[in-house]
A and B are shown apart, each in its own frame.
Chain A
């Protein structure tokens, strides 16, 4: 007997130019004691469905059709009434634990307030209940922590508090909207275990909204796949992931990087760009290709970086050690992976290699020249040309006021001042076509492109100086999984054709496994181990690496 029934739900956003149908005739049922995964890429309408259940759709959107039954009650019949269900019968967990708790109240005050709003309890009773809840979600010393403020909890602990807030009025339905996306892998698995445990113990109906197929595979009983507001497929998780019926689901499953093996290329079933041209890297004609010499292109020696968090005092007491005595070498033509959780110092190392930061101590050698000691700007420019970087956020990495043409032309003009304007245009077209964009893109502004296309523009800009080393700082973590597969394929092709050396930084182990020959694992600014990729995944030697590998969500877990 299903507990939550969504019938023909449609949500429209009336925009200035057109009406956006964020959800179209969605039919979903969830039973008690069951976790339903709602999966889809950004803009697929998965969060819209979650918000529509509790009637939290932002203006100008509105529920245009359909009904939602909770048990026997149609909760959308009387929109004023929904407040009674929100929090009481339906618990909510949001993505960011930083913003879903009020920073100026202790968590105890927030719990008691929520409990007393919905249940008729005295303050003492409410307090006891709150402490029991905190214990239930796994917070140690709940009596003491009760009086702490949200900032005194770590990200994972805060998400536990959010879960206890969602549970405090004995809800029967729990909606978790990307509950672990903002968290590190090790904490993610704890939170997911907690949700699984609570579902069984309290006999909850749970809707878990996520974009991560690994999370879906490990946590959910059934899964609903959404695309552009449509429900593509719904069914038991195992069936959907192993024998998908629809083309879209197939392409989604095939673009997830496998955790247990290395594959040559990702199979692309649906392409973002229509042109089905087989990787023609036009830029090759212009590229002064360097033969790969068997030598270390980059040598990092005892690199350290501290950040002083206090502006006025110069004592080292308050300083944060972001990178602590790290050494590794990258061979020419190699893909080198740098893996770690947030705060492990991996981006700081990248920024020191591209010379955005100066190291506090230690040296970086590029092609046997120490680049950290160069003072002269002209001298520096020679190395700038050879080391380029691709950034994580495709939205802030392109200047929105410039046309794509001008963005790509900037490095070309700077490093070849004598180039004619006609030659620049053909150079730009070659670059754009090498990253599988059309020539027409040159005349447009960045905001007209999707995240994946922007990342391609970013790559074209980086290639414009003909670098030997490409530093990729989480190049795909802001992208949907199918786009990620395309970008990773592109990077692989480029590396092969252009003899690039790549430093690939990521927190995503499966992705690193597909991309890299050698991997360095970082924790709190220190190097844990550096080994060949296959060795790392088959027989990790460091405790921390073992832990990371054990905890990463594996899509393959569904097969066993």
Chain B
């Protein structure tokens, strides 16, 4: 109780989460990697010297330059260039920005949808709960990538051809988001069932607090821990889902390529010896997803009250 007057930063430094973070090398390494990736992706204009989507800066003479350390490599293209002479490093970072935006938006969308449905289902119970939970059961029997393909296909049918490229990114966010929400609904419902039987909820009911306030002011903050943990792991899944869809050609269009699109484009050159065009985006994707998963694992272990 002697630490009541601490600044915000002081409180963070004092917390158990910070302590366990400092003690875990995997968490530190993955966090540092992620910070670098996030920074380079979101401030890509200032990080890399080329804009691969500005046609005036491209030269077909530079096409298919191998990475700089190989025999024919050029120092100015560290990871080589693709078939149109675009610098691979710049393209990857631009692509990873698209992937991250889609991944984050999709996971936030499904988190909002899943948590609000799961929370209300757990709190009110009865027929409403049964309908919501059977709905998640049904959706969990369909692989999420198929679900996303289905949504994408329907959207293609509805949206006109001219509009399609513009709308593609929103359709993708919606498709991935809608395929991930059952996870959040189940976890938040289970946590709500535990919390709503605790006495502090009864106390609020007796005081006369309304159901909405009890759910969002009292229960919601108490169920956020498990939700954030699966949210982190879900983020990696969402990024992978985006790449898969783009690889299959139903994701973002090649004019604004994401990591998946880059892998698909490079895939054609794999057997003609230009391995770097597909290899580097792929390895970048692996590092990204792996770091997020490691960080998620660490979070799960740290925030799990049973393990402490």
Q: Do A and B bind each other?
A: yes
Q: How far is the CA of A402 from the CA of B218 in the complex (A)?
A: 8
- What residues on B are CB-neighbors of A392 within 8 Å? 199
Kindly supply a per-residue 1/0 record for chain A positions 1-44, scoring 1 wherever the CB is within 8 Å of any chain B CB and 0 otherwise: 00000000000000010000000000000000000000000000
A440-B4 Cα distance, complex, nearest whole Å:
10
Within A322-380, which residues are at the interface with B (CB < 8 Å)? 351, 354-356, 380
Q: Which B residue sits closest to A399, measured CB to CB?
A: B200
Instruction: Place the interface of chain A in its size category.
Output: 35 or more
Chain A residue at smallest Cβ distance from B16 = A16
Contacts of B202 in A (CB 8 A): 351, 356, 389, 391, 397
Q: Of the 9-residue stretches A154-162, A192-200, A410-418, A536-544, which lies at the interface with chain B?
A: A410-418
Are A355 and B206 in contact, with the CB atoms below 8 A? yes
Among A381, A384, A448, point to the contact of B1 (Cβ < 8 A). A448
Q: B209 — which chain A residues lie within 8 A by C-beta?
A: 410, 414
B19 interface residue (CB < 8 Å to A): yes
Does A290 sit within 8 A of B, measured CB to CB? no
Point out the residue from A356, A380, A448, A461 that lies within 8 Å of B208, measured CB to CB: A380
* Cβ-neighbour of B203 out of A381, A391, A401, A415 (below 8 A): A391
Q: Does B4 contact A397, Cβ atoms closer than 8 Å?
A: no
Tell me the complex Cα distance, A415–B207, Å: 9
Contact assessment for A16 and B19 in the assembled complex, using a CB-CB cutoff below 8 Å: yes
Q: Give A190 to B16 CA distance when docked, in angstroms.
A: 46
Which chain A residues lie closer than 8 Å to B199 at the CB level? 391-393, 396-397
Give CA–CA (A91, B221) in the complex, Å. 45
Given contacts A396-B199, A399-B200, A401-B221, contact A465 B19 (CB under 8 A): no
Chain A residues within 8 Å of B205, by CB: 356
**What chain A residues lie within 8 Å of B221 (beta carbons)?**
399, 401
The minimal Cβ–Cβ distance linking A457 to chain B, given in whole angstroms, is 11
- Least CB distance from A559 to B in Å reads 39
Closest chain A residue to B207 by CB distance? A411
CB distance from A258 to the nearest CB of B (A): 30
CB-CB under 8 A for A400 and B206, given A16-B19, A444-B4, A448-B1: no
In the complex, whether B24 has a CB less than 8 A from a CB of chain A is no
A432 at the binding interface (Cβ < 8 Å): no
Q: Say yes or no for B84: interface residue by CB 8 A criterion.
A: no
- Selected from B4, B198, B207, B222, the residue in CB contact (under 8 A) with A410 is B207
Minimum CB distance partner of A396 in chain B: B198
The answer, among B4, B16, B208, B222, for a CB contact under 8 Å with A381, is B208
Complex contacts, B16 vs chain A, CB 8 Å = 16
| A456 CB to nearest B CB, Å | 14
On chain B, the residues within 8 Å of A387 by CB distance are 206
A340 to chain B, nearest CB (A): 20
Whole-angstrom CA separation of A351 from B201 in the bound complex: 13
The reply to whether the CB of B304 lies closer than 8 angstroms to some CB of chain A is no
* Distance between A224 CB and nearest chain B CB, rounded to angstroms: 30
Q: How long is the Cα–Cα vector from A388 to B198 in the complex, in angstroms?
A: 16
- Distance, CA A392 to CA B200, complexed state (A): 11
Does B204 interact with chain A (Cβ within 8 Å)? yes
- Which residues of chain B come closer than 8 Å to A461, judged between CB atoms? 203, 207
Task: Establish whether residues A414 and B208, one from each chain, have CB atoms under 8 Å apart when the complex forms.
Answer: yes
Chain A residue at minimum C-beta to C-beta distance from B218: A399
Q: Which chain B residue lies CB-closest to A444? A: B4
How far in angstroms is the closest Cβ of chain A from B213? 9
Which residues of the other chain, A, contact B1 by a CB distance below 8 angstroms? 444, 448
In the bound complex, what is the Cα–Cα distance between A464 and B222 (angstroms)? 24
Q: Are A396 and B19 in contact (CB under 8 A)?
A: no
B20-58 vs A: 1/0 string, CB under 8 Å?
000000000000000000000000000000000000000
Q: Which residues of B contact A354 (CB under 8 A)?
A: 206
Within 8 A of B (CB), among A437-496: 440, 443-444, 448, 458, 461-462, 464-465
> A398 interface residue, CB < 8 Å from B?
yes
By the criterion CB–CB under 8 Å, are A384 and B198 in contact?
no
- Is the pair A384, B200 in contact by a Cβ cutoff of 8 Å? no
CA distance A411 to B204 in the complex (A): 8
> Which residue of chain A is the closest to B198 with respect to CB atoms?
A396
Q: Chain B residues with Cβ under 8 A from A464's Cβ?
A: 207
Give the interface of A toward B (CB within 8 A): 16, 351, 354-356, 380-381, 384-385, 387-389, 391-393, 396-402, 410-411, 414-415, 440, 443-444, 448, 458, 461-462, 464-465
List 13 additional A-B contacts (Cβ < 8 Å) besides A384-B207, A414-B207, A464-B207.
A385-B208, A389-B206, A391-B199, A397-B202, A399-B204, A400-B222, A401-B218, A402-B218, A410-B204, A414-B208, A415-B208, A461-B203, A465-B207
Query: What are 27 A-B pairs with beta-carbon distances under 8 A?
Result: A16-B19, A354-B206, A355-B206, A356-B205, A356-B206, A385-B208, A387-B206, A389-B202, A389-B203, A389-B206, A396-B198, A396-B199, A396-B200, A397-B198, A397-B199, A399-B204, A399-B221, A399-B222, A400-B222, A401-B221, A402-B218, A410-B207, A411-B207, A414-B209, A444-B1, A444-B4, A462-B203
